[in-house]
Chain A
């Protein structure tokens, strides 16, 4: 009876994860139980290690297992460019693309009057201090193309107006595989404004 209670507790916890509900959590736990040696024990060990060691990078806010994340610790990435992203997931997305060779700054959210998230909660003063102290040449605002994301981008641009760094933002327009017929008016307008010689 105690064992069943433990398994039910595990299912309840798994069901709280993104992408999983009670039924899919039950299936996942069953799969783990069937591969206790090959999958469940190593997974439990890995989770215990990460839970023990994971911490926010003290410079950029990325998640790592030491005080400095691998990106901030890598001298080759001291290019004088800082890419500002909303969340660690966005940082990982940028890293997947392998197009950016500089360093990051993770805000941890966007300004939101409704949720009482202000500049201090996002560490924007810390970003301003970092840009000044690191002699940054360019700050790339890679924030989401949402009202909250762009409001935050404008706020950061204003906060950095006195610095020597150039402020840029990601381009907005037609995504790869996008069809004009399915794009909203604003995206088409942004793409048209950002047109270039072909």
Chain B
């Protein structure tokens, strides 16, 4: 069994003295783990970092084996290390992909979106909004997507200001009525409308965080969402 693909490293751990086990989010093969022989060497240290974009060749005798990766660097993101906010963003992306994605299931849309987001971390100051929309896309890819197209009560397409924490469906102010206090505020940025203020971003993260925690409950088993995401939200709140 063997294949070649392009991907982004999302987790690295030492395996014995000289090897490493890496997890790569690949374009065609999804989240995939494998051993890198010599992965603990100084030569490979710069390459085998979370966020590195790499070309991988995977080989195993049987498809169910973990297999061995050979890794070639395509684009390293060590420049992010000096930027604490971008580094926190990178950690949150990698931690969520590690926790949320099932192994060996392709998510081509999410992969393209992830690559664009990683590029935005390096070049653009507006990436927190992109990150928020990326979390919404992650929910969709996992099958927990929100239905924000029309009000669940009135059917209206305008004036959507809440989302139901139970159904994930949007609700208008008129439709919410006395139930408004039990609903989550829906910021316009999650509807793809305009730039978000810090408050709107926090509201957006509360919405995606709620559905991520609920959807990933079988994986998290009572644990909170990854600490890297909480760290990112803390940093964004101080801006």
Contact = CB atoms under 8 A, between A and B. Distances in A.
A binds B: yes
Interface of A: 18-19, 111, 113-115, 118, 145-147, 150-151, 154-155, 157-158, 184-187, 189-190, 193
A185 B78 CA distance: 8
A151 B13 CA distance: 16
Interface SS of chain A: helix
A18 B40 CA distance: 13
A19 B17 contact: yes
B46 A113 contact: no
B237 interface: no
Interface in B129-153: none
18 contacts: A113-B95, A114-B95, A115-B13, A145-B78, A147-B50, A147-B51, A147-B87, A151-B88, A151-B91, A154-B87, A158-B84, A184-B76, A185-B79, A186-B77, A186-B79, A190-B78, A190-B82, A193-B82
Most B-side CB within 10 Å, residue of A147, A185, A186: A147
A118 B17 contact: no
Interface in B24-79: 45-47, 49-51, 73, 75-79
Contact of B87 (A19, A114, A151, A186): A151
A118 B84 contact: no
Contacts of B90: 147
Contacts of B77: 186
The 9 closest A-B pairs by CB, nearest first: A186-B78, A154-B84, A150-B81, A113-B228, A184-B46, A113-B226, A113-B227, A113-B95, A186-B79
A114 B17 contact: no
Contacts of B76: 184-186
Contacts of B11: 114
A5 B120 CA distance: 61
Contact of A146 (B49, B79, B84, B226): B49
A53 B231 CA distance: 40
Interface of B: 11, 13, 17, 45-47, 49-51, 73, 75-79, 81-82, 84, 87-88, 90-91, 95, 98, 226-228, 231
Nearest to B46: A184
A190 B79 CA distance: 7
Contact of B17 (A18, A146, A147, A185): A18
B170 to A, nearest CB: 31
Nearest to A186: B78
A184 B46 CA distance: 7
A179 B186 CA distance: 53
Contact of A114 (B73, B88, B98): B98
A184 B79 CA distance: 10
B81 A186 contact: yes
Given A115-B13, A146-B45, 6 more contacts: A19-B17, A114-B11, A154-B84, A184-B73, A189-B79, A190-B79
B81 A145 contact: yes
Contacts of A189: 78-79
Contacts of B84: 154, 157-158
B82 A113 contact: no
A181 to B, nearest CB: 14
B13 A114 contact: yes
Given A146-B49, A184-B46, A155 B79 contact: no
B72 to A, nearest CB: 13
B87 A150 contact: yes
Most A-side CB within 10 Å, residue of B45, B81, B84, B231: B81
